[in-house]
Amino acid sequence: MHISVEDLKNMPGETLTYTFTAAAEQLDLTDEEVEFLEPLTVELLATYSNGKINVEGSLHSKVALGCSRCLRTFVFPLAETFADEVQAGDMATLDIDDWVREAYFIGLPLKPLCHEACKGLCPRCGSDMNEKQCDCLIDEVDHRLSVLKKLLEEK
């Protein structure tokens, strides 16, 4: 994705609007854990002033992610913004691909959850705790701390 610096220089102080649509492959954003459900849309505002280009942009898409608790696939509405200022110099075009990639990675959750209250999987039998409560007895005490538990019971 490129914007013409010459167009911006010919209209100093004017904000130009750009809209790009790209597939994940075009931006080298393919990942086996993220499935794009629609193309990535980038909206960009660029202004040339005093030898500098001010860029403000946003990206939007829908991706399918796996929940880190229950492992179900869910739709995540990806939306992120970015902004920067660069020296125009003698460049003919401004490549915004790196900004888009960075905003994409910032917009993805570190620990994707299908919903905030997701109960995850039972650590014993592996059943989805969101669907049904299993009959497994889960010892909440870390076995490494069992000696301390015995001390508390003696009091």
Q: 77 with 18, same domain?
A: yes
The span from the CA of 75 to the CA of 126, in Å, is: 23
Cα of 152 vs its chain's centroid, Å:
45
Q: Which of 22-31, 77-86, 130-139 has the lowest mean pLDDT?
A: 130-139
Indicate the DSSP class of residue 149. H
Q: Confidence class of residue 155 from pLDDT cuts 50, 70 and 90?
A: low
Looking at the structure, do residues 128 and 111 belong to the same domain, yes or no? no
Smallest CA-to-CA distance from 100 within 60, 131, 54 is with: 60
Query: What gap in Å lies between CA 8 and CA 10, rounded to an integer?
Result: 5
Q: Which domain holds residue 137?
A: 121-155
- Is the confidence at residue 137, as pLDDT, over 80? no
Please report, to the nearest 10 degrees, the dihedral formed by the alpha carbons of residues 64, 104, 115, 32 taken in order.
40
Are 67 and 136 found together in one domain?
no
Per-residue pLDDT averaged across 108-117, rounded? Answer: 94
**Number of separate domains in the chain:** 2
65-86: per-residue pLDDT in tens? 999 999 999 999 999 999 999 9
pLDDT at 153: 81
Reported pTM: 0.78
